[in-house]
Amino acid sequence: MKRKSHYPYWFMLPAISVFFVLFIVPTLASLYFSLTIWDPFEARFSGFENYVQFFSEPFLVRGVVNTVGFAIVTCVLKTILGLLLAVLLTSGVWGQGLLRSIVFFPVLVSTIGVGLLFQEMMHPTQGAINVALSWIGINGPGWLTNPSLALFSVALVDVWRGVGLATLIYIAGLATISPDYYEAARIDGATRLQQFWRVTVPLVWPATTTVVMLSLISGLRLFDLVWAMTRGGPGFSSDVLASVIYKQYQSGFWGLSTAGNVILFIMIAVIIAPLTYWFNKREVES
Amino acid sequence: MKRRQYVIGAVSFAVAFVIFVIPFIFVVINAMKSAAESARLDFRLPQKWQFWQNLTDVVQARDYMLLLAYFNSTVITVGAVTLLVIFGALVGYVLQRRPSRFSSFVYAFVLTGLMIPPAVVPTIWVLQEINLFKTLHGMILIQVAYGLGFTVLLYRAFIASIPRDLDEAAIVDGARPLQVFFRVILPLLEPVTVTVIVVQSIAIFNDFTHPLYYLPGRENVTVQLTLYNFQSQFVSQMNLLFMNILLVTIPPLIVFIFFNRQIVAGMTSGAVKG
Amino acid sequence: MSRVELKQLRKSYGAVEVMKGIDLVVEPGEFCVFVGPSGCGKSTLLRMIAGLEEQTSGQIEIAGRDVSFDEPSKRGIAMVFQSYALYPHLSVRDNIGFGLSLARRPKAEIRQKVDAVGEILQLGPFMDRKPKALSGGQRQRVAIGRAIVRDPQVFLFDEPLSNLDAALRSQMRLELTELHARLGATMIYVTHDQVEAMTMADKIVVMNAGRIEQVGTPMELYQRPATPFVAGFIGSPRMNLFDGDVARRMGCDVYGIRPEHLLISESDGRWTGQVRHVERLGADTILHLDVPELGALVARTDGNCSFHPGQVVQASPQPDMEFFYAAPG
Ligand SMILES: Nc1ncnc2c1ncn2[C@@H]1O[C@H](COP(=O)(O)OP(=O)(O)OP(=O)(O)O)[C@@H](O)[C@H]1O
Ligand SMILES: [Mg+2]
């Protein structure tokens, strides 16, 4: 005879069933559907055809490469800028609180709003950015019209929008470092730069882990900003996996779209798993 | 404060102003111009201020679509956040209080949602099968599924700080499991619940991608979708586009002003755990 | 007021057995104290009686009824927790009345019972405050009030005084003893403080590593400790215990003599030793001696004795106050 627990598992039933039906089932189903030629009417098994296509059609390959590039560039920029901003905004400068709010606010604003706004500001001739550049004698580029620059421009806007979150996480991380370490380092005669490299960077490592992971994952998954600013254009030059998935879905190539989704899972797993391992190891060692 | 800190602060302000504030000023100015003026996309102040005119034009556009969109977005946000709070707190509670292999498994499962992007087309297929495609309640449940990982993470961490003695005192007092949860635990979750509500409301209100997939159709528009659709409609009326951007920016601004602390707590506590 | 009986009670966490077959009877109206070192299983035993922890095997009877598998609220017990476990969001009044309101008693009845309890514990002025706005002693009283209002057959206390400072602790000790006299209820009280055990208990249960070492009245345990463990645990300062060669020379496996049962003189005695350290407590003086024949020896003498460190003295045990134990098992 066993008494019932006071924490019954059925408490989790509503949440878990919603999660299971609307997240786990589609995720598992995607593994099958990615192996089919699937349109709104039928799904026909086709083996690895979709995957082969993904890695042979140049515009699809472009999407995969762009996704990785975009994630790495935004991740690096957010991490470095986030740490520097956090150091600045915890050093007791004048107006620190307001500055933090200013840097953070874009995180909360509609991505579509931000995308459309920058689309206008990056207009090649009339856009505010190029007009401002012309005042100092620079002939600004076609930020979103130049195929080799479009994705990078989107990345810059993504950093503009997301650096506030990285900063916030770093500020929380810096707050956990005891001032004793800096005092000890000062007594040992460390310069400010040495303090940054020898004390701040190692001790803020858990925050770095978080910032890198979060920005990589969100970079790999990004859709709305690209869609609002370029729709993957000009041509396919700024397509990322998420926009390819949407375009293929819209054109009725559901199997191909789903294969893109599976490639995105795998890519996230392949990039995140070793990183997690490496970060945790460094964390334990230091 | 040292002089140095004033100087650095002032310089930072100037830079932050140019980079982060000017774009918003740009929106505000252009939202008040006439169509012809705003087409020049510059920073000059409007010659003719027409805030009300632009506002009513945007609201009335396409048969008051913006009002419908605000209504739909509000229904989705309120519905999803309500469910997330109750479901998430229950899951976080059981997972924290009842460590077992099953609990670890469930927790790991729920957290995968934080990392893995949803498989969109198969989700549409599932939604069609259960007749929830293109419905607001389908969208609500989708947002619950996608927001669950973060919510459970926050609740589980917070509940760990509530001593188990409280549950046991209530059990000795004769409380049944649901009573322990609703009468003792839930009232103590207020701080983290405010965080969950604020952070998830913003995320769900701002979500564009998922309504785009799961809520096609004119009667289902959400705020982000109208904003996106208006873009093609307003090519010759930039002032209205900017007015619309202004309108979607104001709700988060208000929330930010009132709940700054909770947002910061949520963003960092959820994140630092990874 | 009821009898509690435990029969062959066992508890394992996975492969580790932390409770190794407990048999115990607590008589109606008795104040029974579980003592033992940290980790010996006192809390676990108490929580099994409460029903918060399920026994692996064995039986629990309260008032002649087998409650082994009953819910805690159906056992006729009330519990006071070490952390008090007051509901932070409820006022003192609602804390005390929580159980009654769960049982859907009429409002008027709840109010009247809660007020009566508040009266007993002198909580009147605090009834509408939240626990946060109370001192440690007041919180303690509320926790006790929450137990009293349930009108239980058995009160269970898990180290209820350990969060209080020394002065408040001795005051609460007195109040609890008075409360016991007034209510006449059966009480089971866990502590690791042997002073609490000695001063409050009708019956002391000394536990060690998941077993009961000895059960008895405070004076029985003091005068006739059954094992070296009990001998060392009850009494302050601790009894001097010697094993190995020293004990063997006296014809046993463990030899014990309490500090207060040693006579110290400058002239003659059984053992010769040197004073290493003198602790003056006022009424008493504690002497730490180095005795070549035994090792370190602690003795208690008069408050105004004149011994000083370095002095050579003689020590003798009082007759009939020595303990000779054979090896356990
Ligand atoms: N959930 C558990 N899992 C495994 N072992 C446990 C668990 N709870 C208690 N124990 C073990 O059971 C033993 C008894 O614990 P218990 O809390 O009853 O000790 P105690 O006598 O109350 O000690 P203290 O005076 O420190 O409160 C300890 O060795 C403890 O490590
Ligand atoms: Mg204990």
DSSP C229-297: HHHHHSSSSPPEEE-HHHHHHTTSSEEEE-GGGEEEESS--SEEEEEEEEEE-SSEEEEEEEETTTEEE
**Pocket residue to mutate for ligand 1, from C42, C157, C190, C191, most atoms within 8 A of Cβ:** C42
Q: Which DSSP category does A39 fall into?
A: -
Residue B36 has pLDDT above 80, yes or no: no
Nearest protein Cα to ligand 1, atom 22 = C43
Which atom of ligand 1 lies nearest, measured to the CA of C40? 21
| A3 at C interface, C-beta within 8 A | yes
Instruction: Give pTM, 2 decimals.
Output: 0.88
Are C96 and C80 in contact by the 8 Å Cβ rule? The answer is no
Can you read off the two tokens belonging to residue B63?
């048969």
* pLDDT score for B80: 96
Burial of A128 (0-12, 13-18, 19+ CB in 10 A): buried
Are B154 and B194 in contact by the 8 Å Cβ rule? The answer is no
pLDDT band at B57 (very low <50, low <70, confident <90, very high): confident
Q: Which tens digits make up the pLDDT trace of B127-160?
A: 999 999 999 999 999 999 999 999 999 999 899 9
Q: What is the pLDDT along chain A (286 residues), one digit of tens a residue?
A: 567 889 999 999 999 999 999 999 999 999 998 888 887 777 788 888 888 888 888 888 888 999 999 999 999 999 999 999 999 888 888 888 888 888 988 988 999 999 988 988 888 888 888 888 888 888 888 888 888 889 999 999 999 999 999 999 999 888 888 888 888 888 888 888 888 888 888 888 888 888 998 899 999 999 999 999 998 878 888 999 999 999 989 888 888 899 999 999 999 988 888 888 887 777 666 5
Distant-in-sequence, close-in-space partners of A111: CB < 8 Å, separation ≥ 6: A161, A224, A225, A228, B206, B208
- Please give the residue that has the higher pLDDT: either B115 or C108: C108
* pLDDT score for C328: 61
| C71 at A interface, C-beta within 8 A | yes
Domains and their CATH numbers in chain A: 77-239+274-285 (1.10.3720.10)
Cβ contacts of A1 on chain C, cutoff 8 Å: 69
Q: Which of residues 201-230 of A touch B (CB under 8 A)?
A: 206-207, 209-210, 213-214, 217, 220-221, 223-224, 227-228
**Strand bridging mode C203-208 / C31-35:** parallel
| A96 at B interface, C-beta within 8 A | yes
B166, C89: Cβ pair inside 8 Å? Answer: no
**Rounded to 5 degrees, what are φ and ψ at C5?**
-130, 130
d(CA A257, CA A245): 5
Among the partner residues B172, B174, B183, nearest to C50 by beta-carbon distance: B172
Mean pLDDT of B248-256: 88
d(CA C248, CA C229): 18
User: How far is ligand 2, taken at its centre, from the CA of residue A212, in Å?
Assistant: 43
Can you read off the two tokens belonging to residue A153?
């421009």
* pLDDT score for C257: 92
Q: CA dist A279 to B108, B158, C1, Å? A: 19, 25, 61
User: How far is ligand 2, taken at its centre, from the CA of residue B99, in Å?
Assistant: 21
Closest ligand to residue C37's CA: 1
Can you read off the two tokens belonging to residue C329?
């098992």
Residue of A nearest to C56 (CA): A2
User: Scanning the structure block, which residue is given the tokens 């003086």?
Assistant: C285
* pLDDT score for B274: 36
Per mean pLDDT, which range of A145-149, B263-267, C273-277 is the poorest?
Answer: B263-267
Helix locations, A90-127, DSSP H: 96-104, 111-121
Can you read off the two tokens belonging to residue B241?
């586009």
d(CA A28, CA B43): 51
pLDDT band at B273 (very low <50, low <70, confident <90, very high): very low
User: How far is ligand 1, taken at its centre, from the CA of residue C13, in Å?
Assistant: 10
d(CA C250, CA A116): 96
Are B270 and B111 in contact by the 8 Å Cβ rule? The answer is no
Domains and their CATH numbers in chain C: 4-231 (3.40.50.300), 238-325 (2.40.50.140)
pLDDT band at C261 (very low <50, low <70, confident <90, very high): very high
Are B143 and A47 in contact by the 8 Å Cβ rule? The answer is no
Residue B270 has pLDDT above 70, yes or no: no
B87, A22: Cβ pair inside 8 Å? Answer: no
d(CA C15, CA C261): 44
d(CA C96, CA C150): 9
d(CA A100, CA A86): 9
Residue B267 has pLDDT above 60, yes or no: yes
d(CA A195, CA A179): 11
DSSP B210-262: HHHHH--SGGG--HHHHHHHHHHHTTT-HHHHHHHHHHHHHHHHHHHHHHHHH
Ligand 1 neighbours, Cβ below 6 Å, are C 13, 18, 36, 38-44, 192
Query: Neighbours of A (≥3 Cβ pairs closer than 8 A)?
Result: B, C
Of B145, B116, B118, the closest CA to residue A266 belongs to B116
* pLDDT score for B56: 85
Q: In what order do the strands lie in the sheet with C312-317?
A: C262-265, C312-317, C271-280, C284-291, C295-302
* pLDDT score for A283: 67
**Mean pLDDT for chain B?**
87
Q: In what order do the strands lie in the sheet with C203-208?
A: C77-80, C154-158, C186-190, C31-35, C203-208, C211-216
Distant-in-sequence, close-in-space partners of B200: CB < 8 Å, separation ≥ 6: B80, B81, B84, B147, B150, B151
Burial of B207 (0-12, 13-18, 19+ CB in 10 A): buried
- Please give the residue that has the higher pLDDT: either B33 or B212: B212
Length of chain B: 274
Residue C291 pairs in a beta bridge with C295
We find that the CATH architecture of domain B64-268 is Orthogonal Bundle (1.10)
d(CA B204, CA B147): 9
| A273 at B interface, C-beta within 8 A | no
* pLDDT score for A2: 65
| B97 at C interface, C-beta within 8 A | no
d(CA B155, CA B199): 13
**Pocket residue to mutate for ligand 1, from C16, C19, C22, C40, most atoms within 8 A of Cβ:** C40
Distant-in-sequence, close-in-space partners of B199: CB < 8 Å, separation ≥ 6: B150, B262, B263, B266, B267, B270
Question: How many CB atoms within 10 Å of residue C263?
Answer: 13
* pLDDT score for B272: 46
Can you read off the two tokens belonging to residue B64?
């008051």
Q: CA dist C301 to C102, C281, C282, Å? A: 58, 10, 11
Residue B38 has pLDDT above 80, yes or no: no
A vs B, Cβ pairs < 8 A, gives: 256
